[in-house]
Chains A and B, each alone.
Chain A
């Protein structure tokens, strides 16, 4: 595996952080768990919401994020995706 944390791993870390909080988490907690810059996290979260892995909802004055079934599927099949993409250079 690459020494540098690749895209798949970052997405996994974000989704795993949400899953560990019983499927609902504030962005600041994701930031802490995923070890990303705020700018990168914003971009990743926007993409994950757009692609249907994560659902964004409002709680009070802030936002919370929860996993969709597609997000749970990604976590379950992560090793398969990682293995296939590494093998065929699809990272």
Chain B
């Protein structure tokens, strides 16, 4: 087990060192694709829910980008100095990175949860954000509070997708539901990762499965759209 750079509060298995950055880069790309595609749908349909969904995923993408960049810089710095890099640099880079990541991710998840609540009042979103950010900032254990509140938001989002699946009972809504169940369990594993490193790796694998399913769903929509564009050639 080795300490994780970002925050120094989590331990992870030594074999996982470096893979976390790779996973974070993959998550950045997938969430960016989902977010941009949702905004494309918003541009066509003018549906506010597509806009909030797209903005939420862009914030989540930015959160992973910050996290992967900070972890990559710290990993390279440590390796270049043979593990003797300045503890001050690591400390401050970790702190800035983790707080920026937390802020972006919470904004993203709150926007997402706000969309699922179907309330057309931006003051509700600002209140939700203020409560969450203040609770995290003034918590004695920032990471624990962050993972706990993220899990709570994901729980409500998952309930929404459970309801969405039962309303339509289609394969595509089932995939979306499973993706959010994986995301929820992934976040719950990160709570336990504060004491057990293996949970940290499991959390990443669950998130990888979740984002993989979300990407599969978006690719399916794109593929269906391409097939519709193609002229029929079966009949003379």
Do residues B160 and A77 form an inter-chain contact, with CB atoms below 8 A? no
> In chain B, what residue has the closest Cβ to A7?
B47
How near does chain B come to A26, taking the closest CB pair, in angstroms? 24
Residue-wise, chain B 92-136 has the 8 Å CB interface mask toward A (1 for contact) of 000000000000000000000001100000000000000000000
Q: Residue A8 at the B interface, CB < 8 A? A: yes
| Closest beta carbon of chain A to B233's beta carbon, Å | 19
| CB nearest to A74 among chain B residues | B44
B-contacting 9-mer, from A32-40, A56-64, A80-88: A80-88
Interface residues on chain A, number (Cβ under 8 Å)? 21
Q: In the complex, which residue of chain A has the Cβ closest to the Cβ of B57?
A: A88
Q: Which residue of B lies closest to A8 (CB)?
A: B45
| Chain B residues within 8 Å of chain A by Cβ, number | 30
Stretch at the interface among B59-67, B68-76, B145-153, B162-170: B162-170
* A51, B46: Cβ atoms closer than 8 Å: yes
- Bound-state Cα–Cα, A79 to B175, Å: 19
- Those of A44-72 within 8 Å (CB) of chain B: 51, 53
B164→A77 contact, CB < 8 A: no
CB-CB contacts of B147-191 with A at 8 A, as 1s and 0s? 000000000000011011001101011011000000000000000
Q: Considering only CB atoms, which chain B residue lies closest to A51 in the complex?
A: B46
A–B pairs, 21, beta carbons within 8 Å = A1-B168, A8-B47, A77-B44, A79-B224, A80-B41, A80-B221, A80-B224, A80-B228, A81-B45, A83-B221, A83-B225, A84-B41, A85-B41, A85-B47, A86-B172, A88-B176, A88-B217, A89-B161, A89-B164, A89-B173, A90-B50
